[in-house]
Structure 1
Amino acid sequence: MDRERTRPAGDRDEMRAVADPLGRAMLAHHRDEPGELVYRDGAATQDGNVESFYFSSSESWDRTTIEVLERLSDHEPILDVGCGAGNHLLWWADRGVRAVGVDASPNAVLTARQRGFEATLVGDMFSLPVPTGAFGAVHAVGTQLGLGGSLAGIRELLREFARVTADEATAVVDNYDPTRLDECFGYRSDPREGIAHRCFHLEFERNGADGKRYREIGRTLHFLLCSPARLREATAETPWRVRDVLRVDGDARYRAVLEEASIEST
């Protein structure tokens, strides 16, 4: 066992520095090992739903998800940013579409590899470990776009997506639209129109081989929630422009299809 796996709950500061609760939960689920993932915001908690979020069958996916995956298939190779346990990567692989996955979680990457998809890398999405101009499309769903933390931070992330893609590339990102959102777990309002925030951290608990209960506590995550109109603002001074906004039955969550052109032409 490695050092993280055998550390009992207690030394909170050190645990936060090295913990990977979401990735651990994915790997444990794949290995059929018991454990519990929760989102925590103060005293409030929410089930992490590892199976439904990261291991669901494509038969259960909504039509918008399939439409996005099909659209990106025409722009291979695809870079799946925040690939998690590799569900979308495996969908593309089954159809002969070239794709590479990147995730900040070492254990999520290990999970994707153990599920049969080797082309996965550990890396920071703000400094992607891939060559310039190597991809025709970027897929970044799971609302990690909001980890930019501000419109300026989202703009920085979009510039990195532009670096790793060729001319006239396509990208798909997603977020929650505060103008259609009454509440969600970890919600924080903002006085600006079309802007809100979401803050929480993840905890994964499991029983160790020594009979003790172990807990991994992740760092606090801050997501900026922005409406499609605000996302259009964030694309300013980047090569990206919003082509389409896709929703499921008017849901607050949306997917935005971005198209890349030179800054000079836009």
Structure 2
Amino acid sequence: MADEPREIGGRPDPLGRAMFDHQRGEPGSLVYRDGERTREGHVADYYFEPRSEWDDGTVGLLERLAAHGGPFLDVGCGAGQHALWFQHRGLAVTAVDVSPGTVRAASARGVADASTMDMFDLAFHPDRFRTLYALGTQIGLGRSLAGVGELLAEFARVTDENGLAAIHNYDPDTLEGDLLGYRSDPRKGIAHRSFHFEYEPPGSGGRVVGRTLQFLLFGPDRLADAAVGTPWTVADVYAGENTYVALLEKE
């Protein structure tokens, strides 16, 4: 179909295509791949989980963000499930994602303000938002502590003086199990992850292969290190199984 989202700046968009196809009731097969190893993409579980099945920690975090007030910015919105949570409460939320397909899926689900945008170059005026959240470990795409610091500075630019940011990542010091794409690092509280997505659309007989993604994994203490030189300080941490969400406030 001519209107199917396929590319990000000329590159294939397998994750976005998978979400868009699932949203329109024509799911294909998405996998994470690292060399010969693969893992199921779990599109329905990760991006379309019914709100009634969300755990108490997720709901509690969203309620805390809602209490801080908007406008809200959802960075890396995926299929828009968190943006819809705020929107259904009458709160002003803007959702952005670098993937055109995910934005199409979010819009189709009912997200009123969703745009394709690179989180490293947010096209908003300074102080536009009160609360920003990046849930999905995409902060790791900064690839180094210096790169993460630059991304945090961009988040600071678009939030006001009372801004709050929720940042999600894996903590290498508490990570259990076999995380596909994991790469160790000799530094304490630091690791890496590398993989790409592959998607087989329904009935196509072909594959959409994405570029290799490189993530920096770091614990809350190293996040605090990355925030040095920005207005942010780590105010609280929600520890989960393998991952955490840190709440950053402006000093």
RMSD over aligned Cα, in angstroms? 1.8
Residue 5 of structure 1: how far off its partner (Å) = 7.0
| Aligned residue type for 2:111 | F
Residue 119 of structure 1: how far off its partner (Å) = 0.2
Q: Determine the C-alpha separation between the residues in 2 that align with 1:196 and 1:223.
A: 9
Contact 1:82 1:142 in 2 (8 A): yes
1:1-266 aligned at under 5 Å gives the runs 1-2=1-2, 17-74=10-67, 75-182=69-176, 183-208=178-203, 212-248=204-240, 251-261=241-251
Q: Could you list the per-position Cα deviations for residues 12-69 of structure 1 after superposition, in whole angstroms to 9, with x for gaps in the alignment?
A: xx99952100000000001111310000000100000000000001221122211221
The answer for unaligned runs of 5 or more in structure 2 is none
Contact 2:127 2:159 in 1 (8 A): yes
Q: Could you list the per-position Cα deviations for residues 57-104 of structure 1 after superposition, in whole angstroms to 9, with x for gaps in the alignment?
A: 122112221122111113211000000110001111111111100000
Residue aligned with 2:87, SS: helix
Contact 2:71 2:91 in 1 (8 A): yes
Q: Determine the C-alpha separation between the residues in 2 that align with 1:222 and 1:98.
A: 32
| Aligned residue type for 1:64 | G
- Residues 111 and 238 from structure 1, CA distance in 2 versus in 1: closer, same or farther, beyond 3 angstroms? same
| Aligned residue type for 2:244 | Y
Contact 1:207 1:214 in 2 (8 A): no
The answer for unaligned runs of 5 or more in structure 1 is 7-13, 262-266
Residue aligned with 1:230, SS: helix
| Aligned residue type for 2:13 | D
| Aligned residue type for 1:2 | A
- Residues 2 and 177 from structure 1, CA distance in 2 versus in 1: closer, same or farther, beyond 3 angstroms? same
Q: Determine the C-alpha separation between the residues in 2 that align with 1:63 and 1:162.
A: 28
Contact 2:4 2:17 in 1 (8 A): no
Contact 1:173 1:255 in 2 (8 A): yes
- Residues 161 and 215 from structure 1, CA distance in 2 versus in 1: closer, same or farther, beyond 3 angstroms? same
Contact 2:5 2:16 in 1 (8 A): no
Instruction: With the length of structure 1 as denominator, give the TM-score of the two structures.
Output: 0.89
Contact 1:15 1:217 in 2 (8 A): no
Residue aligned with 1:180, SS: coil
Residue 3 of structure 1: how far off its partner (Å) = 8.7
| Aligned residue type for 1:229 | D
**How many residues of Structure 1 are paired with residues of Structure 2 in the alignment?**
249
- Residues 97 and 223 from structure 1, CA distance in 2 versus in 1: closer, same or farther, beyond 3 angstroms? same
Q: Determine the C-alpha separation between the residues in 1 that align with 2:63 and 2:48.
A: 19
Q: Determine the C-alpha separation between the residues in 2 that align with 1:27 and 1:34.
A: 8
Residue aligned with 2:64, SS: helix
